[in-house]
Amino acid sequence: MKNKTSFPPQEGETHPSRCPDNSAFKQQKLPAWKPHLTLATVLSTFFLTGAFCLSVGVCLILSANSVREIQIDYSEKCSDCSKLRENTSNWNKECHCFVNFTLKEDILGDVFMYYGLKNFYQNHRRYVVSRSDAQLLGRNVNIQKSSCAPFTTYQNGTPMAPCGAIANSMFNDTIDLFYNINSSVIQVPLLKTGNSWWTDKNVKFHNPKSYNVSSAFAETARPPYWQKPVYLLDEEDEKNNGYVNDDFIIWMRVSAFATFRNLYRRVSRVRQFADGLPAGNYTFHISYNFPVSKFKGRKHVILSTVVWSGGSNPFLGIAYVVSGTVAALTGFVITAIHLKLRKKKTYFQK
């Protein structure tokens, strides 16, 4: 009503026609493809999907089966050490443990050594965020403002380097592998670098700028659970020390599940290990530092190869096979229903 009163009547005469455009869009007549589920398309879809999934699934299962993997739970076997670590006052005491195992056949190809933890909730919400990426980038930041709390500073004000709960709870067992051949013991050469993501090592993690690593961390203190400061993580290799230590970087990449493994070492393919690990008796020499008993955790050490389709997990293959089977069966069911109902369908059947 208001609008109407406002417009002088003369205005109407110059007003263009209010007839809507006769365009395909406005008249909702856009050319359109209307998919229709006819019997032919439906059946072919099901059968083709089934066949495809089955074939892929078989390939995946075959490839997953070619993976060799050895997993040893050493939290039981090193029960003495485990008990020792239950008492936090013994944190400084060393404890070593030996775990023997036998390879029935050769593990050929690249062999990766993982440590596995069970029941360690690295994905806990407040745990995940308890870090300071800026600090790990080597920037001089006030970590008090970061989400590291309460693992930021000691009471005397010395900042922790690295800060946060993730770093504090870093896995610190040392695992060495020995090959027992003809009563002689050969240490399997293991590579401790190149295990982490390239981007992590070169982009996300940097030591603070300084002439050497130790001076870079001069003003800081180690996290409370640590036995040694961050600049002593790898005394042998300058490029694997401090924040850019591979073990540290890998630990900092928090795992998705409570049971997980982290790449620890790779077998260096030299001398008798050029093709992988030959069959025989081996011994893990473990320096047991990381306590798991208080959260009912388990520790594993795993030797495994990888294939193009991933690790030893056969699930994907099984999923493909099952899905493919189901799809094919569905196709048969539809065919059956169709055959049965065909006689009843009296009209409207092309």
Partner 1 sequence: MALSVDSALYRWQRPGAPSPSQTLSESTPLLVPVRDKPKLHLKKWRIVFPNKRGDGTDWKGASMLYSGNRIRTTKYTWVTFLPQNLFEQFQRLGNLYFFFLVVLNWFPQLEIFHREMIVLPLVVVLLASMVKDAIEDYRKYQLDKMINFSKTRIYDREEHAYIEKCWKDVQVGDFVQLQCNETIPADILLLHSSDQNGICHLETANLDGETNLKQRQVVMGFSRQNELFEPELFQNTIVCEMPNNDLNKFKGYMKKPNQERIGFNIESLLLRGCTVRNTEAAVGIVIYAGHETKAMLNNHGSRYKRSKIERQLNRDIFFCVGLLFVMCLVGAVGHGIWAGNFFEHPPYDIPDENGNFLSPVLAGAYMFLTMIILLQVLIPISLYVSIELVKLGQVFLIHNDIDLYDEEADLPIQCRALNIAEDLGQIQYIFSDKTGTLTENKMVFRRCTVDGIEFSHQENARRLDTHKELDLDDEDFANLQRFTLPPMDIEKSATSKQRSMRPLRRCQSARAHFQRHTRTRSLGRCDSNQSQVAFSSPIEKDVTPDSILLRRVREAALQTENLSPFIHMKTSTSLTDFFLALAICNTVLVSTATEPRQRVTVPPPIKPSGITLEKIHQIFQRLKLASLSQSFSSSQSSSDLGISFSAKNAPEYRAALECCDNDRDCGASGGGDELQGKDSTDIGSASLDEVFKSMTDSSLPTDFCYEAESPDEAALVYAAQAYSFTLVSRTPEQVTVRLPQGTLLTFDILYTLGFDSVRKRMSVVVRHPLTKEIVVYTKGADSVIMDLLEDSAKVDTSAERRMKRIKEKTQKHLDFYARDGLRTLCIAKKVLNEDDFQKWANFRQEAEAAIDNREELLMETAQHLETKLTLLGATGIEDRLQDGVPDTIAALREAGIQIWVLTGDKQETAVNIAYSCKLLKQRDIVFTINTENKETCESLLNLTLEEVRKNSEAEKPQRKIWGVIPTSFSASEAPSSEFGLVIDGRTLNVIFQAGLEETFLELTKRCRSVLCCCSTPLQKSMVVKLVRRQLKVMTLSIGDGANDVSMIQAADVGIGISGQEGMQAVMASDFAISRFKHLKKLLLVHGHWCYARLAKMVIYFFYKNVSYVSLLFWYQFFCGFSGSTMIDYWQMIFFNLFFTSVPPLLFGVLDRDVSAETLLGLPELYKDGQNSEIYKLSTFIITMLDAFYQSLICFFFPYLTYKDSDIDVFSFGSPINTISLLTILLHQALVMKTWTLFHLVAMVGSVVFYFVFSLIYNAACVVCNPPTNPYWVLEKQLSDPTFYFLCLITPITALLPRFFIFALQGTFGATLILKAQQVDKLPRGQQDLQIQKLRSRTQSPSSASVPSPVSNDDLKQRISHLCVSPFLHPVPAAVSHGDTASRGLSASEVNHLRKLTPEEGYYFFNRWAEEESVAADSSAEPSSGHYPLVPRRVKTPGQDDDKQTKDRAHNFNHGSHRRSVSAVTL
Site for partner 1 in 236-295 (CB under 8 A): 250, 253-263, 294-295
Cβ-based nearer residue to partner 1, 179 or 288: 288
| Distance of closest approach, residue 208 Cβ to partner 1, in angstroms | 15
Q: How many residues bind partner 1 (CB under 8 A)?
A: 110
Question: Would you mind telling me the total number of residues written for the chain in this entry?
Answer: 350
Which residues in 172-211 contact partner 1 (CB under 8 A)? 197, 199-200, 203-204
Which residues in 126-155 contact partner 1 (CB under 8 A)? 126-134, 137, 146-147, 149-151
CA distances in angstroms from 156 to 35, 136, 139, 160, listed in the order given:
72, 22, 22, 11
Cβ-based nearer residue to partner 1, 95 or 263: 263
| Distance of closest approach, residue 340 Cβ to partner 1, in angstroms | 10
Do residues 279 and 226 lie in contact, with contact meaning Cβ atoms separated by under 8 Å? no
Do residues 47 and 331 lie in contact, with contact meaning Cβ atoms separated by under 8 Å? yes
Do residues 209 and 138 lie in contact, with contact meaning Cβ atoms separated by under 8 Å? yes
What span, in angstroms and rounded, lies between the C-alpha atoms of 122 and 129? 10
| Distance of closest approach, residue 63 Cβ to partner 1, in angstroms | 10
Buried residues in 217-256 as b, exposed as e (16+ CB within 10 A): beebbbbebbeebbbbbbeeeeebbbbbbbbbbbbbebbe
Which residues in 55-94 contact partner 1 (CB under 8 A)? 56, 60
- CA 62 to chain centroid: 23
| Distance of closest approach, residue 276 Cβ to partner 1, in angstroms | 20
What span, in angstroms and rounded, lies between the C-alpha atoms of 326 and 173? 46
Q: Of 83, 96, 124, 239, which lies in the binding site for partner 1, with binding defined by CB under 8 A?
A: 124
| Distance of closest approach, residue 237 Cβ to partner 1, in angstroms | 22
Which residues in 2-31 contact partner 1 (CB under 8 A)? 2-6, 8-10, 12-13, 15-22, 26-28, 30-31
Cβ-based nearer residue to partner 1, 120 or 273: 120
| Distance of closest approach, residue 224 Cβ to partner 1, in angstroms | 10
What span, in angstroms and rounded, lies between the C-alpha atoms of 100 and 284? 6
CA within 13 Å, CB half, 330 = 17
Stretch that binds partner 1, among 91-99, 122-130, 226-234, 239-247 (CB under 8 A): 122-130
CA distances in angstroms from 337 to 39, 45, 128, 334, 342, listed in the order given:
11, 17, 53, 5, 8
| Distance of closest approach, residue 185 Cβ to partner 1, in angstroms | 29
What span, in angstroms and rounded, lies between the C-alpha atoms of 19 and 37? 38
Cβ-based nearer residue to partner 1, 232 or 326: 326
> Which residues are bridge partners to 286 per DSSP?
97, 175
In 3D, which of 205, 199, 211, 198 has the Cα closest to residue 139?
Answer: 205
Cβ-based nearer residue to partner 1, 18 or 271: 18
| Distance of closest approach, residue 333 Cβ to partner 1, in angstroms | 8
Which residues in 285-344 contact partner 1 (CB under 8 A)? 294-297, 308-311, 313, 315-316, 319-320, 323, 326-327, 330, 334, 337-338, 341, 344
| Distance of closest approach, residue 111 Cβ to partner 1, in angstroms | 15
Q: Of 91, 101, 178, 225, which lies in the binding site for partner 1, with binding defined by CB under 8 A?
A: 225
Q: Does 44 bind partner 1 (CB under 8 A)?
A: no
Strand order in the sheet with 190-191: 69-73, 298-304, 112-118, 260-267, 190-191
Q: Does 158 bind partner 1 (CB under 8 A)?
A: no
